[in-house]
A and B are shown apart, each in its own frame.
Chain A
Amino acid sequence: MTGVWALLGAVAVVAVIGAVLRTRNGRVRAARPGVRLPAPVRALLDPNTHVTLLQVSTTFCATCRQTKALLEELAHRTEGLRHVELDVTDLPDVAAELGVLRAPTTLALDGTGAELLRVGGVPKRDSLIAALRPHLPGPIG
């Protein structure tokens, strides 16, 4: 009998996780306050670019390729926007300092390294464009 309840419980947990992730996935969130950029991230910044999209990935990340394709395409079509990818599989301290717990997580950083916003999961193209608009000189995408 315990097994039946455990089975029902597991199905309920899956439904809850699915619902939570559906609302959170790809949503643009506010910048995390008090983040000091670790050295490997600072090395990727370009002071002459308005916005750098830093994609934090791991070797085991199933949706990182899809995210990379989307962000690369966006950066390619947009003036002042760059896309860089950082694999933190073997840099857990970097992930911890950035406050990143899931991959992919994308951070938008300005030329000085200040975080503008972040997105967990595959970003939603339209809401990302809307959120980046105030930070870029021209049209996006």
Chain B
Amino acid sequence: MPKDAPVDPRGPRFSAWITTAVLAVVLLTGSWRLLAAQTVLFAMCAFISLKLNPWGHLYRYAVQPRITPTSEREEAGPLRFAQGVGFVFALIGTVGYASGLTALGVVATSAALVAALLNAALGLCLGCELYLLLRRHAPALARPQSTPSQ
């Protein structure tokens, strides 16, 4: 996995609000196609680079020039881990909705929405803080990224 440079922490918060909105639309419409698109986006950010996140570019061009600059920087490692957690839930949700197991789709999408909204509203990355808990009780969620090259 290539390493990403630290980022302005307000960028990921901005992205998390958009992700929250996308997941809310998925819950209201039950569209597996929209959730599949979000799943692909999560995968690109988690496994390739945060630079592929279109909302990050929107933040840099439309939002960042209008607000006070900050010297605060956030490491990319936790952010990518969070995208990976989002990817797992979104993937399960897509499979649920697309295969007619709507309940599975609703539960998995709700879980992803909780994580995104916690990040957006409270700046909290639950998966990052509870990485140790995940690793102990749900190793499948934590293992794919347990040995990053960063």
A residues engaging B (CB < 8 A)? 2-4, 6-7, 9-11, 13-14, 17-18, 21, 58-63, 65, 88-90, 92, 95-96, 100-103, 121
Contact = CB atoms under 8 A, between A and B. Distances in A.
Given A3-B106, A92-B135, A102-B133, A60 B113 contact: no
Interface string B109-150: 110011001100110111111111101100000000111101
A62 B74 contact: yes
**Closest 7 A/B residue pairs (Cβ):** A60-B81, A3-B27, A101-B133, A62-B78, A10-B113, A10-B110, A60-B128
Q: Is the interface of A mostly helix, strand, loop or mixed?
A: helix
Q: Which of the listed residues B30, B78, B102 has the most CB atoms from chain A within 10 Å of its own CB?
A: B78
Contacts of A18: 118, 121-122, 124
Contacts of B130: 101-102
A3 B28 contact: yes
A89 B107 CA distance: 29
